């Protein structure tokens, strides 16, 4: 008789954003006239910029002719895209070669899949609160141990609280991890890390022989010069860090799907195994490449026109972030994030739990956000709002909260 992967039974509830979607759908069904403003999931709302649309059309036309038709993509992605990405790294002073860039269908898949190339008994350290994919993918792989309901934590994971007291940047854990997940600018807190502090993490990882999985999906939102756009701006990162990037948040590809992961050739495990080779092997075996049309559109992001247009679009969402941040402050809330990220992290009023605040916000002013506790126990009494709505809806939502 076949047997299921019982690790899945160790997962807690459904995926956070599925739970929220179900709750909102139930409310909308019971209140069909409610004008709900959705500032929950970090999904973009503005159309793709003209340069990307133009390139997508060109790609479609190429597929219509025998001479320009494209079948499977090369394993690592098309060279035209990887060299454009590598050039961008070079301009930031980072040493990343085309050959170290693996194009994929998005940062979510990569951040869920990357754990596969590490040993099953690796100790995993995650921030708390954290993007649930890092936790759940390691639960599925059997690294979590039992779930402790009272603590809201898995026994074998090392949790690194990110709180007001440490300005939402974790301290080094007491026990040594093998795999450390860091995401900056951070989802969900919207806080950034300074280059100096990230350098400390790189030094620490090199010292203890750990790998950092660095999720830089939100780097386009950085406004402060002290914050690094890539972990490879830090010295020594090539021997301890993998970086994951997305085209979703900078260029609006959430429905188009494109991302990439950098695995430096110097990244070796304790026995000298080259992690780049393992990821290449995994990519070749389990993935047949992002569509040609999409990769072509991805390259348009790096052209002068594309750069300027997506800069304006990111600016649009940044304006929303400021409107939320300042509006909530004016309304007397304690607010974090929003300066270098599209997420605003607010403290719930009157010591309400995150889910109590979620329900009240939905029922009383018809606004959807994300409960902080859904990202981990240290997120309790916090709440996340996203800047990815339309400007009009963002302003309406803040007005509703101010007049609540
Ligand atoms: C979020 O809301 O946290 C994001 O949508 C996560 C993601 O990009 O998968």
Smallest CA separation from ligand 1 atom 3, residue: 42
Is 320 close to ligand 1, i.e. is its CB under 6 Å away? Answer: no
User: How many angstroms separate the first and last alpha carbons of the chain?
Assistant: 57
Q: Give the pLDDT confidence of 71-115 residue by residue, as tens digits.
A: 999 989 999 999 999 999 999 999 999 999 999 999 999 999 999
Q: Give the pLDDT confidence of 37-49 residue by residue, as tens digits.
A: 999 999 999 999 9
Question: Probe ligand 1: pick from 15, 17, 343, max atoms within 8 Å of CB?
Answer: 17
Please identify which residue in the block is written with the tokens 């979620």: 358
| Ligand 1 atom with minimal separation from the 370 CA | 2
Whether residue 129 has a cis bond before it, omega within 30° of 0? yes
Smallest CA separation from ligand 1 atom 5, residue: 42
Query: Which residues does the chain have with pLDDT short of 70?
Result: none
Whether residue 224 has a cis bond before it, omega within 30° of 0? no
Kindly state the tokens that stand for 27. 């409310």
The predicted pLDDT at position 132 comes to 95
The predicted pLDDT at position 67 comes to 98
Nearest to 85 by CA among 303, 294, 284, 315: 303
The predicted pLDDT at position 15 comes to 81
Determine the distance separating the centroid of ligand 1 and the alpha carbon of 357, expressed in angstroms.
Answer: 20
Determine the distance separating the centroid of ligand 1 and the alpha carbon of 66, expressed in angstroms.
Answer: 38
The predicted pLDDT at position 267 comes to 98
| Ligand 1 atom with minimal separation from the 17 CA | 2
User: What's the rounded Cα separation, in Å, for the pair 62 and 34?
Assistant: 45
Is 41 close to ligand 1, i.e. is its CB under 6 Å away? Answer: yes
Residues 42/342, Cβ–Cβ less than 8 Å: yes
Is 187 close to ligand 1, i.e. is its CB under 6 Å away? Answer: yes
The predicted pLDDT at position 14 comes to 79
Determine the distance separating the centroid of ligand 1 and the alpha carbon of 140, expressed in angstroms.
Answer: 19
């Amino acid at each position: 008789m076949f047997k299921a992967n019982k690790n899945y039974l160790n997962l807690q509830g459904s995926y956070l954003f599925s739970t929220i979607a179900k709750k909102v759908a139930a409310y909308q069904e019971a209140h069909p006239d409610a004008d709900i403003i959705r500032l929950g999931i970090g999904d973009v709302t503005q159309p793709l910029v003209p340069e990307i649309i133009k390139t997508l059309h060109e790609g479609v036309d190429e597929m219509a002719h025998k001479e320009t038709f494209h079948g499977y993509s090369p394993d690592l992605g098309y060279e035209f895209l990887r060299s454009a990405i590598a050039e961008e790294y070079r301009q930031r002073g980072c040493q990343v070669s085309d050959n170290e860039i693996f194009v994929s269908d998005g940062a979510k898949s990569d951040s869920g899949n990357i754990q596969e190339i590490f040993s099953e008994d690796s100790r995993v350290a995650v921030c708390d609160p954290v993007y649930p994919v890092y936790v759940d993918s390691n639960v599925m792989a059997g690294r979590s141990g039992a779930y402790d309901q009272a603590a809201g934590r898995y026994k074998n994971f090392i949790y690194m609280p990110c709180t007001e007291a440490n300005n939402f940047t974790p301290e080094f854990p007491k026990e040594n991890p093998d795999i450390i997940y860091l995401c900056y600018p951070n989802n969900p807190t919207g806080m950034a890390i300074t280059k100096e502090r990230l350098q400390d993490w790189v030094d620490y990882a090199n010292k203890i022989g750990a790998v950092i999985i660095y999720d830089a999906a939100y780097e386009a939102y950085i406004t402060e010069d002290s914050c690094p756009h890539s972990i490879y701006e830090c010295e020594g990162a090539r021997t301890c860090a993998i970086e994951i990037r997305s085209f979703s948040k900078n260029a609006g590809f959430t429905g188009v799907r494109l991302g990439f992961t950098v695995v430096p050739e110097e990244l070796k495990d304790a026995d000298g195994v080259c992690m780049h080779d393992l990821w290449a092997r995994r990519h070749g075996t389990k993935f047949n490449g992002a569509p040609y049309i999409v990769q072509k559109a991805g390259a348009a992001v790096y052209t002068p026109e594309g750069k300027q247009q997506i800069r304006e679009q990111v600016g649009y969402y940044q304006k929303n972030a400021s409107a939320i941040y300042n509006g909530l402050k004016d309304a007397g809330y304690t607010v974090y994030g929003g300066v270098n990220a599209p997420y605003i992290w607010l403290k719930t009023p009157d010591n309400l739990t995150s889910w109590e605040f979620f329900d009240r916000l939905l029922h009383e002013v018809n606004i959807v956000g994300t409960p902080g506790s859904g990202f981990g126990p240290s997120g309790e009494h916090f709440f996340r709002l996203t800047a990815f709505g339309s400007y009009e809806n963002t302003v309406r939502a803040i007005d509703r909260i101010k007049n609540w």
